[in-house]
Amino acid sequence: MHGLHLTADLRGCAPAQPLMTQPNALRRLCLAAAQDAGLQAVGELFHHFTPAAPALGAAQAGITGVVLLAQSHLAVHTWPELGAVTIDVFVCNFQGNHSRCAHIALERLVEAFAPGEVTRQELQRAGAHPDLLRA
Amino acid sequence: MHGLHLTADLRGCAPAQPLMTQPNALRRLCLAAAQDAGLQAVGELFHHFTPAAPALGAAQAGITGVVLLAQSHLAVHTWPELGAVTIDVFVCNFQGNHSRCAHIALERLVEAFAPGEVTRQELQRAGAHPDLLRA
């Protein structure tokens, strides 16, 4: 069994939607996407950038955030100034096969941003011993 | 210009080395790797797992951690019970080309674990407008 790393790079996301600029909205979405997909959050951290260009209001600055999972991690970066978002969901599969959970979480996140365009990729990561557990 | 996502999956790492089980040791390494490579940390979060198998001492449990970067993120997961480590360095390249920085940070992290085996992969992520800045 191998770890699975899914990425989705989004374009054409409406810059004014709360998920692009409000850390609490993005945090709630990420935690719900993980939980509803059967992934266990063990920590989370979200950072709200401030725009370097003074013409842009603070409310338009993007967010970078991560949810640490028992199964590895989920990361989202938003660029409202570009209508762009990147999403990563990585499940190590060291405790069993969480690949389906990863796909469910990713799709939930992608759909929430209602992008005009999505580029998806996936990596097979190093294999695992399925009988090792940790929580 | 495209974002660059580098991964390294390590095997054959000595389980007893502090980087595998001591969050502060891993945090220091990750922050130093980012800074020395010219990447700007904006936050960090490290979680120390507890082993599900009672036969394993707490000191043997792994760590999952992330450094949020102005340029995207750096993530490390350790499994001392397997001698395994996964590393991600993602630079969005929306502010300029940080690809060289990403390679420098990744190599510093890989070398620090002195692995017996390394599987490296890289993904080209969505492109960017190089004239947009944020800090």
Say yes or no for a CB contact (<8 Å) between B126 and A9: yes
- The pLDDT > 90 percentage for chain A reads 79
Q: Is residue B132 over pLDDT 60?
A: no
Torsion of CA A101, A45, B107, B105, to 10 degrees: 140
Residue A21 within any structural domain of the chain: yes
Residue B124, domain member (yes or no): no
Does B108 map to a domain? Answer: yes
Q: State the pLDDT confidence band at B98, using cuts at 50, 70 and 90.
A: very high
Q: Which domain holds residue A7?
A: 2-51+60-127
Domain CATH code at residue B100: 3.60.90.10
Say whether A98 is catalytic. no
Using CB atoms and an 8 Å cut-off, which of residues 17-76 of chain B contact chain A? 42-45, 47, 49-53, 61-62, 64-66, 68-70, 72-73, 75
| Number of Cβ within a 10 Å radius of residue B17 | 16
Interacting residues of A15 by C-beta distance below 8 A, sequence separation 6+: A21, A60, A80, A81, A83
Which residues of B are known catalytic residues?
72, 77, 92
Residue B129 falls inside a structural domain: no
> Does a structural domain hold residue A29?
yes
| Backbone region of residue B110 per phi and psi (left: phi > 0; alpha: psi in -120 to 50; beta: other values) | alpha
For residue B5, the one-letter residue type is H
Number of domains in chain B: 1
pLDDT tens sequence across A67-103: 999 999 999 999 999 999 999 999 998 778 999 999 9
Q: Which residues of A75-84 are buried (b: 16+ CB within 10 A; e: fewer)?
A: bbbbbbbbbb
Q: What local confidence, expressed as pLDDT, does residue B58 receive?
A: 47
pLDDT in tens, B21-65: 999 999 999 999 999 999 999 999 999 998 765 555 545 799 999
- A129 and chain B in contact, CB less than 8 A: yes
How confident is the model over B66-73, as a mean pLDDT? 95
In sequence order, the 6+-apart residues with CB closer than 8 A to the CB of A107 are: none
Average pLDDT, chain A: 89
Q: Are the Cβ atoms of B64 and A45 closer than 8 angstroms?
A: no
**Using CB atoms and an 8 Å cut-off, which of residues 70-109 of chain A contact chain B?**
70, 72-73, 75, 77, 79, 81-82, 84, 86, 88, 90, 92, 94
In a domain, A117, yes or no: yes
Band of the pLDDT at B133, cuts 50, 70, 90? very low
Q: In whole angstroms, give the CA distance from residue B80 to residue B61.
A: 7
CB distance A81–B132 less than 8 Å? yes
Angle between helices A99-113 and A23-36 (to 10 degrees): 150
Q: What is the ipTM of this complex?
A: 0.88
- Distance separating alpha carbons of residues A52 and A43, to the nearest angstrom: 29
Q: Is residue A134 situated within a structural domain?
A: no
Q: Which of A5, A13, A73, A92 is catalytic?
A: A92
Is residue B127 assigned to a domain?
Answer: no
